[in-house]
Structure 1
């Protein structure tokens, strides 16, 4: 079970990152080109949201069954264990919270420019945080 979850979490991460990058790039292009916010733009953003939320759910389950997650939380002197047991989950929860806030805020906005700007900021910050805490040595 653990091995399957670990592989699924790693594999889904590629999908979630691609969806999130596409959403950020789309928002930036929409903001700079001053185009109209359409249903297509909304779908791109929701796919980024769904991808990251799915990754979060898989990661939370993995966190509690993995020997590198909750079980090793007390071993903060080891950099690799600190990354997998504290930094990676905490920062990614913050990142996905920012992405969710961006999704929620866009619904209240009326102009296309403000919607694209909101997605650019919140999804972009979420993407940067996620990229900063990926355990690259374990992933590649």
Structure 2
């Protein structure tokens, strides 16, 4: 079961990252062209939000069933162990909180530019944080 969850978490990450990149690029394009914020734009951002939340839930399940998670907590001097047991989960939780804040703020935006800006900024920061803490050596 652990290996299935691990593979799902790794595979779903591609989809989540793709949707986040698409949402950020779409928002920057919408802001720069000063176009109207449509239902399509809302759905693009919503799919990015949903994908990251699914990734978070699967990641939390993986963390608590992983034989590595509990064993590595005492080995904080090893950078690879620290990345997978502390930095990756913590930074990604912060990133998903920022993405969620961006979703909430866009709903309160009164102008099209404000809606696009909320998504672009918060989703963009979340995306950068996620990219900064991916265990690249384990991913490829």
Quickly name the TM-score band, shorter chain normalised. over 0.9
SS at match of 1:77: coil
Alignment partner, residue 44 of structure 1: 44
**Runs of 4+ displaced beyond 4 Å:** none
Matched residues in 2 for 1:78 and 1:49: separation? 32
Return the offset for 1:110. 1.0
Matched residues in 1 for 2:87 and 2:118: separation? 26
Alignment map for 1:9-24 (pairs within 5 Å)? 9-24=9-24
SS at match of 2:67: coil
Alignment partner, residue 7 of structure 2: 7
Return the offset for 1:74. 1.6
Matched residues in 2 for 1:70 and 1:120: separation? 36
Return the offset for 1:71. 3.5
TM-score (ref. length: structure 1): 0.98
Matched residues in 1 for 2:20 and 2:58: separation? 17
Structure 1: which 5+ residue stretches go unaligned?
none
Alignment partner, residue 94 of structure 1: 94
Alignment partner, residue 112 of structure 2: 112
Matched residues in 1 for 2:68 and 2:132: separation? 19
Return the offset for 1:109. 1.0
Alignment partner, residue 131 of structure 2: 131
- Judge conservation of contact 1:64–1:71 (CA < 8 Å) in 2: no
Matched residues in 2 for 1:123 and 1:70: separation? 31
Structure 2: which 5+ residue stretches go unaligned?
none
SS at match of 1:69: helix
Alignment partner, residue 83 of structure 2: 83
Deviations 1:7-44 (A, max 9, x none): 00000000000010000000000011110000000000
Return the offset for 1:70. 3.7
Indicate the RMSD between aligned Cα atoms, in angstroms.
0.7
TM-score (ref. length: structure 2): 0.98
